Structure 1
Amino acid sequence: MVVGPTASRALAALQLIKSNIQTGAVPKPVLASTLAPMAQPRPGPGVSDALSRIGQPTVGTKLDDLPADHAARLRTYGVDTAIRVPKPSVSDEEFESRVMSEIKESWAGLDGFSEALANGTVKINRASDVPELGYETIQYDIYKDGHIFGGTGWSTFNRSYYDAQVAAGVRQGVGSIQGLDYYVTW
């Protein structure tokens, strides 16, 4: 029978262990650094890939290639590249559940909200489904010289539309939960 080098090492180790057990000898601990290179523990491919990238610059979008108003805001941080954080994609049921879990207690003190919640007249919309509101949150991871600098974000909305709804007697609120922008009326 032909035995390869790895199997040969394993057989030798087993014979040594068997010998130590028979004589009652206590084996000495073996440090990983004393093992043959192929026998040393190695991280999995994902960990190995991530470790190899530490210190390497991340490629983002140059500020000049972003919308002008976004680039102007980001330049105030002294950064040179950015990556826009994508919006999560969730079902309507998941969206409504997340928003309701966020607002049901925190908005309890708002005029008429608890009553509307009790009688089922709270309406939860994705902000994008109400284009005249113009509500959107924008988030970026920002980089300087290819290295993460931090994150930033802001929101936009049409204040005139919002104020017109207030004048019409509509009770409302806007917000965002982990990138899920919402508009709630009651």
Structure 2
Amino acid sequence: MIKSAWMGGVLALVLTACTSASKKTEERGIPTTTTVEEGRIDYNAIQTYLKLDRPVEELGYTEKAFNTCEVGYGYSRSQNCHKEYFVVLNFRLMCRDTEGTISTILTDADVAPIAGKDVRWALNKISGNTSTDGLGYGQIRTVSPKSQFHQRLKIAVGNDFLYMRSDEIKKVITPRSWCYQ
């Protein structure tokens, strides 16, 4: 009888320990709030899903609202459903060989692409990095909880930077110092 009570106590202790351990594992394995970590969102897939694919040469700003649970691609299909905006901003950086104000119209011979450069950008409270291709074209892709249309965009190459409104940036001709970054 004592042996049976002792076995029952051990069994209860083991079951309690297993239950406690599984709860801890469950708490660690399944977050209570879903956060999207950088690198887990598949921007290419979302861009295609939202039909925002376009050649980098097609300059300008576009955005499209989407429901995170409907799109997936790194977002939970069942938790923390909310509206986000997918932003695509295509731009071209060119530099001119002169400084200061000029009185003539710039031609293609007067400018050169800022090619193969790392570009840091900040759009409102969102920031990231991209790079230009061999012809100076670049693309910014991001998601945001609210529209970024008309927001201030900062673009920086090396120590040089400029500010423009997001919906106005297309082909940007910069001063001479940008040519040598």
Q: TM-score, normalised by structure 1?
A: 0.23
Structure with more helix by fraction: 1
| Bigger CA radius of gyration | 1
TM-score (norm 2): 0.23
* Greater share of residues in strand: 2
